[in-house]
Structure 1
């Protein structure tokens, strides 16, 4: 008998222990029965009135797991799910050329031109992950967990032996997580708001590649939070000056007073993975950070 252990023994069984020890009750385990434990009753948890509870769970689960995994700092990578790796874009172009469809060929050529962003995203994630492996507090890549630029980010980290995070979202057209996310850090969300909150909670920088509505939503929400002082300032790096300046007329926003002069300094244009990492190294003085084992 361990008397010392008795001092710290639980006074009550845990919910997990009780749930696992439950015996079947044929008379009361049917679909219309109210006998199930509330936290084990999926039909009850999915009621409309339980939305606040489900949102809290989506806040807590990724938070607790990332804390347990020692995730403190992240770099968020946003960008289109439609940007393909170069080898896939070349195959698409070859197929279009074989068909002889001019419109399809034009789209395939545009995809091939955009594929260099996939390669830059992949290289950037590898640079971050490799450099972070030598730090006392690593910086982890986090993406939306899907294909395209998201895949490139997770892939770059995976290929140099590092962990990375994927924050997937349930969509009407099913989105599968890409195969490069660290399994214990692959999350799935129902609520866009909770997902976007987790993107920013640990982020030290946002790296934004060309994309569509979803990418613009994530980019502008981050800019708005920083502009209004709702979250701390952090670097926002936008890959591809030509793309972004054609898409958004920042000068017009300033000229018409829609944003203040100086708001354009919330972000920086970059073209290469090395340029992006050099800017972050300078911003955070990463050269001076202690390596793993050197102490803080």
Structure 2
């Protein structure tokens, strides 16, 4: 027992008080919201004034769970929730049908990553996705193909918020705040693999690029799957020509076309600058 545990054991465990509260006689006083224990009062916790507390809780819940599982590093996988499994239902959009191969690429990349994670006892290179459909599903599915675990960072949205069936249940987290969710994507990341996507994927990609560019985060491999897609949707050279980024900033990321090429780059990557 640690010194901290000895000191804590002098006081009742919070769960003990919850059990005691269930045995308290029901009266007009004990049924009043004011009588609820503050940490067990969802109406109180949900108040606007308690936002700083909720931010801390979202940061701590996943952090403690991952620390207890011994996860040291992750491979974060980002990409569209709309890209379908080519072997599944019709995508309903010609553009998405053309991107279907990236589902298979993401699944294969996650399988390779999880094989490495298993070799480390699921401590290193654990797949981490947003837990939704599309590319996220492919990542969790590839981890399951390898017999491994995967981390899912879901978020409450009007749509697409249910975790996909391939998420490891006890590592499937749900978030209210995008900011805290994105922190968890990066806190343990050994590498970031970015597949074609829309606004959400761009948001996540540009956040990590900004953090590395401004040296608010240590450099790491940032892999963009599908050079034709990325060069079509973002004119990186135009930004450099305009002087809004340095020409060297384009070197913060690397294009790859296959899972094998991605892992070759990760294995040989060295931080520069």
Distance in 1 separating the partners of 2:153 and 2:7: 38
- Mean Cα displacement is larger for which, 122-131 or 14-23? 14-23
Long gaps (5+) in structure 1:
1-6, 94-103, 285-296
Structure 1 stretches (4+) deviating beyond 4 angstroms? Answer: none
Deviations 1:136-169 (A, max 9, x none): 6421000000000000000000111101000000
How many residue pairs get aligned? The number is 262
Residue 209 (structure 1) aligned with residue 195 (structure 2): yes
Distance in 2 separating the partners of 1:110 and 1:216: 18
Q: For residue 277 of structure 1, report the CA deviation from its aligned partner.
A: 1.0
- Listed as ranges, the matches of 1:73-112 within 5 Å are 73-88=73-88, 91-92=89-90, 107=93, 109-112=94-97
User: Conserved in 1, the CA contact under 8 Å of 2:106 and 2:135?
Assistant: yes
- Listed as ranges, the matches of 1:190-209 within 5 Å are 190-209=176-195
Distance in 1 separating the partners of 2:120 and 2:160: 37
SS of aligned partner of 1:86: coil
Distance in 2 separating the partners of 1:9 and 1:269: 51
Backbone CA RMSD of aligned residues: 1.6
User: Conserved in 1, the CA contact under 8 Å of 2:84 and 2:96?
Assistant: yes
User: Conserved in 1, the CA contact under 8 Å of 2:114 and 2:143?
Assistant: yes
SS of aligned partner of 1:84: coil
Residue 183 (structure 1) aligned with residue 182 (structure 2): no
Corresponding residue number in structure 1 for 2:234 = 248
Larger Rg: 1
Residue 117 (structure 1) aligned with residue 102 (structure 2): yes
- Listed as ranges, the matches of 1:131-150 within 5 Å are 131-135=116-120, 137-150=123-136
Q: For residue 11 of structure 1, report the CA deviation from its aligned partner.
A: 1.5
Q: For residue 9 of structure 1, report the CA deviation from its aligned partner.
A: 8.9
SS of aligned partner of 1:253: helix
Distance in 1 separating the partners of 2:262 and 2:112: 10
Distance in 2 separating the partners of 1:57 and 1:255: 44
Q: In structure 2, do the counterparts of structure 1 residues 273 and 174 end up closer, same or farther at CA, with 3 Å as the change threshold?
A: closer
Q: For residue 248 of structure 1, report the CA deviation from its aligned partner.
A: 0.5
Distance in 2 separating the partners of 1:70 and 1:178: 24
Residue 223 (structure 1) aligned with residue 209 (structure 2): yes
Deviations 1:55-84 (A, max 9, x none): 100010000000000111001000000000
Q: For residue 8 of structure 1, report the CA deviation from its aligned partner.
A: 8.3
Deviations 1:272-293 (A, max 9, x none): 1111111112227xxxxxxxxx
- Listed as ranges, the matches of 1:234-273 within 5 Å are 234-273=220-259
Distance in 2 separating the partners of 1:244 and 1:84: 19
- Mean Cα displacement is larger for which, 18-27 or 192-201? 18-27
Q: For residue 92 of structure 1, report the CA deviation from its aligned partner.
A: 1.7
Corresponding residue number in structure 2 for 1:294 = none
Long gaps (5+) in structure 2:
1-5
Q: Which has the higher contact order (CA 8 A, sep 6+)?
A: 1
